[in-house]
Amino acid sequence: MTNRRRPVSQALLDRAIKVDAALHAAFPGAKCSLDYANPLQLLIATILSAQCTDARVNMVTPALFARYKTAAEFAGADCAELEALVQSTGFYRNKAKSIREACKDIAVLHGGEVPKNLEELYQLHGVGRKTANVVLGNAFGIPGMVVDTHVGRIARRLGLTKNADPVKVEQDLMRLFPDMRWTTLGHEMILLGRKYCKAPTPKCAGCPLIELCPFTKKVL
Ligand code: SF4
């Protein structure tokens, strides 16, 4: 894709380098907190994590993954049974539908294997860009910049983007940070969002990025 957007200023690149270092120092070892044993399980766990805590998803998936093992099995699952198994994660009808549709695509179009690139992952029914990047980065080790509500909010507060559209935020962050950092950076920003940079009011006191953050001046 041709990038016709304005070049990034050196000042912004310098700040991104400092943000990168501060996040890495503040959250060493940050990683995906969903439990999974293979790419298919991570894809399904990520679908279930929408509007739900990872801890809750991890309580639900052991029984789910014991009941269905392959994409074909998920695709052919009885609707009511699948819904009952994922009910406690919320929005369970939509999530069960997304799981069945994505797994049908994987079984029919990809021989039962989760595809290893963003375009094909994103084209699976029921799979959004965030889920595609989570799977890419964590299950396959291919850099993926995950932009969820935490990452988008923090990127805007830190002045790393002015965009609200997650795809544009993703592109802005990909221009500012090296690809080898994208996956872990997403985890670190999510941890920052959970601990300090909350919505609607951040807890700036104690935030490891306070010296770098233009938003904190407005808050304080
Ligand atoms: S200083 Fe405040 S607004 Fe800035 S990143 Fe930290 S918590 Fe968020």
Residue 152, both tokens:
């988008």
- Would you say the CB of residue 114 lies under 6 angstroms from ligand 1? no
Q: pLDDT digits over 141-163, tens only?
A: 999 999 999 999 999 999 999 99
What residues of the chain score a pLDDT lower than 50?
A: 1-3
The confidence score (pLDDT) of residue 7 equals 81
- Would you say the CB of residue 202 lies under 6 angstroms from ligand 1? yes
With residue 217 as reference, give the H or E element that holds it.
helix 215-219
Residue 10, both tokens:
């050196």
**pTM of the complete model:** 0.92
Catalytic sites, residue numbers: 130, 148
- Would you say the CB of residue 151 lies under 6 angstroms from ligand 1? no
The confidence score (pLDDT) of residue 4 equals 53
Q: Quote the CA–CA distance of 160 and 22 in Å, as a whole number.
A: 14
Distances (CA, A) of 80 to 52, 55, 58, 85, 175: 20, 23, 21, 9, 44
Q: How many CB atoms lie within 10 A of CB 45?
A: 25
143 and 137 in contact (C-beta within 8 Å)? yes
Cα 56 to ligand 1 centre (Å): 27
Cα 63 to ligand 1 centre (Å): 38
Residue 167, both tokens:
């795809």
Cα 55 to ligand 1 centre (Å): 25
Distances (CA, A) of 220 to 147, 191, 213, 215: 26, 22, 11, 9
The confidence score (pLDDT) of residue 2 equals 42
The confidence score (pLDDT) of residue 216 equals 78
Q: Where are the domains of the chain?
A: 10-30+145-219, 39-139
Report the topology of domain 39-139. Endonuclease III; domain 1 (1.10.340)
Q: Quote the CA–CA distance of 134 and 87 in Å, as a whole number.
A: 22
The confidence score (pLDDT) of residue 3 equals 47
Q: Quote the CA–CA distance of 215 and 212 in Å, as a whole number.
A: 9
Non-local CB neighbours of 118 within 8 Å, separated by 6+ positions: 129, 132, 133, 136, 144
Around 64, how many Cα atoms within 13 Å sit in the side-chain half-sphere?
A: 30
- From the CA of 196, give the closest atom in ligand 1: 7
The confidence score (pLDDT) of residue 161 equals 96
Alpha helices in the chain (DSSP H): 10-26, 39-48, 54-67, 71-75, 79-86, 92-109, 118-123, 129-139, 149-157, 166-176, 182-195, 215-219
The confidence score (pLDDT) of residue 1 equals 43
Rounded to an integer, what is the distance from CA 102 to the centroid of its chain? 17
User: CATH top-level class for 10-30+145-219?
Assistant: mainly alpha
Residue 111, helix vs strand vs coil: coil
- From the CA of 157, give the closest atom in ligand 1: 3
